[in-house]
Amino acid sequence: MNGAFWRNLGITVVLAGLAAFAGARLGEQPLAIKPKAAEASHAPVGMRDSVYQMVHQDIQLTDDQKHRIDDIEARYAHRRNELRAKIASANAELGEALANEMALGTAASRALEHQEQDMGDLQRETILYVLEVRAVLTPKQQQVLDQKVFESLSASPLS
């Protein structure tokens, strides 16, 4: 194997690692969506807006509810960060496997499975988080949250 191969392999691995790192960091940041004033009450909530933000912006909470939701958020944030780190690691594993095999071989397939599992775990934890927050709310507050979650999940990713 010549020097060009190793140079290209090294560049590919470094770029894959940087992409995984950037994806993990960007994924941690909520997307600030500022709809026009006339559209503000009808604008769908973006997927990156957390349920925490939906609850605190759109629902009048009691002090007890705020405290309980803050506790839930703290527990969830820790687990979410763990899973995002695992996803970033799986991305790097996938990048390295693709660079080494230059095909969807055994190592790349295994890395892809790790990534899919970690992403599924994050989705599952998010659903459990939403349900736990929802349980703190009154039935009327739950209706507001349910509508916001529905809007968020059904919003077009291209809008």
Residue 150: what pLDDT?
A: 85
Give Cα separations from 47 to 26, 50, 92 (angstroms). 14, 7, 25
**Cβ contact 19:88 at 8 Å:** no
Which tokens in the block code for residue 41? 């009450």
pTM reported for the whole predicted model: 0.62
Selected residue with higher pLDDT from 122 and 40: 122
Q: What percent of the chain has pLDDT over 70?
A: 66
Rounded CA-CA distance 132/157 in Å is 26
Q: Please report the domains of the chain, with CATH numbers, ordered by start residue.
A: 3-32+45-154 (1.20.120.1490)
Rounded CA-CA distance 159/10 in Å is 37
pLDDT above 70 for 20: no
**Cβ contact 16:96 at 8 Å:** yes
Rounded CA-CA distance 72/99 in Å is 40
